[in-house]
Structure 1
Amino acid sequence: MAFMLMLFVLLCGLEMLPVLGILNATAEQPIGVCYGQVADNLPVVQEVIDLYKENGIGRMRIYNPNIPTIEALKGSTIQLSVGVPNEIIQSLATDATAATQWVQTNIITYAKDVKFLYIVVGNEIMPGDAAAKFIAPAMQNIYNALASANLQTQIKVSTAIQLGLLASSYPPSAGQFSPAASEYVNPILSFLVTNNASLLVNLYTYFTYIGNTKDISLDYALFTSPGTVVTDGQYQYQNLFDASLDAVYAALEKAGAPNLEVVISESGWPSEGGDAATIDNANKYYTNLIKHVQSGTPKRPSKPLETYLFAMFDENQKGPAETEKHFGLFSPTKQPKYQNVN
């Protein structure tokens, strides 16, 4: 089956129909797509929004409050997650008035017409980054600004982390945050638990695989292993995605947040530019990921996992690695990259 046809069907949660008019994704479906814009050749914003609608994609993540994008989403059913750029986090943390103004300008102004889902305060901040100690206070100031408009339950405040915060992840039950990461993660986790919000996690089995091809098989990273690869106590793992996510869950337990929900805020596979970066492998990964996240992990089974594919388009100004330019589901000409790949 062509990849994009599979995408149409799974995004919409419907039985396959004889035409590709399955374009009504609902809020209950767990798949979204990140709209990265680090490129100089992308379609105009309205065409992008139309492409989301045509393909039944009901959730979008953007990395800054791009006003043309927000304007184009007015009246749409697409749910939007908006990033707070890393470079302004300190100012929003140390100046409540600045945080209030940011929320008013970028969120409250449009809240009646745009379905905001998350405000994502920072992306992949590491312990040594200048913004690290400001994440939690910035989240609190943004939450307070939302609460002043009675939007704090409708729009959740979170941050997006990466697996590099884990000091260990093998076996999955050994997952725990590094001491340095814990210092800034723990206040974030406390905020999320208190406000019933999810932790966003960027999870790429591709990078884990290329970092350790000696011990990790390509099949394990692509969801194509024929049987169990790792046994960890009562749990058996047939793919690296589940093992990685359950390591995060184990780390959350050790950090005192055992019931915190996780959203996969980015996951994808490059189609060229490096080791194992091929059209065929990317097709397998995206197709299998979409199917797999409907059913949870061994540690937390039977619950669909909200997941954002990275990304909508190839981005020709990303780097420094060449693979960074080739994560798109679509080319900048809006052609589906995997349409003719079985």
Structure 2
Amino acid sequence: MTKDEWLVVGNGAVGLLWASKLSALGNPVTIVHRSASQPESPIIVDFTNDAGEPQQSTHNVTFATRSELEGKYTKVLLCTKAFDLVPAYLDIREHTKKRGLIATLCNGMGAQQDLIPHLKKHQNLWAGTTSEGALKTASNGVRQTGNGDTFFGLLVEDEKNLFGNQFPYPGVQSENVEQRLLEKVAVNAIINPLTALFSIRNGQVLEPPIRPIFDAAIDELSSVMQDEKFKYRAYTLNLTPELLHMRVSTVAKLTAMNCSSMYEDVRNLRKTENEYISGFFHREANTPTPLQDFFYRALNDRPHLEEHKKKLLSMYQELSA
């Protein structure tokens, strides 16, 4: 049985927010969850309107566990952690249409490419990235904590796909999604490790004593992305040092009061997406990346995080004086 509707995998903040967006356009939406108890429909979304007034909207969806799924869905949106992307797809693969659409919306770089060998024949893969802020408030509740842009672009295209080269959601299609992904992973590779290491909010990376480390991390990634031998150089030609600095600083300012996902993961003793953020540059860079290497090792050595933090501060204390 074919189900021409959206299957959203993951009922975290991003999954709930995007399920509500898809539902608002009149699409039937089913959310796969792993909760011990069944979340109740509708999804409740809290947000602030243009006048600064608190608002709330509700969106009817179906919540289901993996075992409750039936039929084959034509459209799937995977809203998982990067390390869960491939396992999450494989878990529901039998419920995906062979000529259907698969879309991803996760942090980091690399997991999207890891998914490609597992796709069914004729499935298109759309990689997505978003700068919207969202905070899960209940099993069926989410608060939109910041406006932002979302982009989806084709990584794998098959002419026999049901949806061709048009993404079935307005205003988000990007012809250069690899560039968007690289810009986002660069932002994440600076803000996320710093906030996680020092237990601070996003805006505090712009303040002493963190600011010198922040600036040095941007300069380091700029050198990586401008290197002619960088594997993804074709997508970073326009990402000048000045532009990268502006992008990362702007995100830090716009999300100043937010806690990064990596900070939340460390604080709650959960697995982080370190492997696909700092780990991406640790593996792919051809120029020295002492800071990204430091972030990568430190966040993989959480029992000694306090020692790593003190060492990093001591390395830059003269600059922050």
TM-score (norm 2): 0.29
Greater relative contact order: 1 or 2 (C-alpha under 8 angstroms, separation 6 or more)? 1
TM-score (norm 1): 0.28
